[in-house]
Structure 1
């Protein structure tokens, strides 16, 4: 049995249950269980790694870190932000890098996303986990790097 995984908030903001994310794939927990964080409106922000591990996938708007037990944690910044093709996203690390929990991964200026009408709600999920297996450790306001949820 893998040890309990504690996943940290990748951004500061308000904790949002996955069921409330305006995207059916995340809301239905089809990619995995977890939570989401909505950053304060209009402010630029840094996105930090929710777990320590190796960055196996790095896109302008999303990344996956595989932690020591082999579980992949996806951070997806905003909804439909893939359509921006990287506008407003500045990567601070490279794919293949090893990161610590709380280490900055990207800097985001949400101006273009908000102008396009996209939500900046950012889901964080442990890939290939059953729905509702994550236990929220934070509600309301959360700071980047603080414990967001745990998963056994």
Structure 2
């Protein structure tokens, strides 16, 4: 009896403390390395993380929902000198529950973490396409 109580508590705690990345169970970007811009010169290829998040959230706010099978136009968020671009494919980039946090996580997981991060200070520039539905995610110079 105690075994089942313990298992139930662990399962409940796991659901309560899961992160947006875990909730997505996203494999759309697995095995796909991003193009990391200015990887040889990290002073050019990175930006203050909070500024990057501002541009990313601007783009993500322009696509508040994603419905499977729907075609969406590209959206962008801009800050001086940088642009976040998102073109979501018909499988919603593998995101189960689309939200601002899961959309932002696409940029953090598929570009920043693979191009030099994760870092609390910097966001690293780059772009990539998902293998599951051709979703395009980019954080690049220009704005």
Larger RCO (CA under 8 A, 6+ residues apart): 1
Higher strand content, 1 or 2: 1
Question: The TM-score by the shorter chain falls in which range?
Answer: under 0.3
Q: Which structure is larger by alpha-carbon Rg, 1 or 2?
A: 2
Higher helix content, 1 or 2: 2
TM-score normalised to structure 1 length: 0.26
TM-score normalised to structure 2 length: 0.27
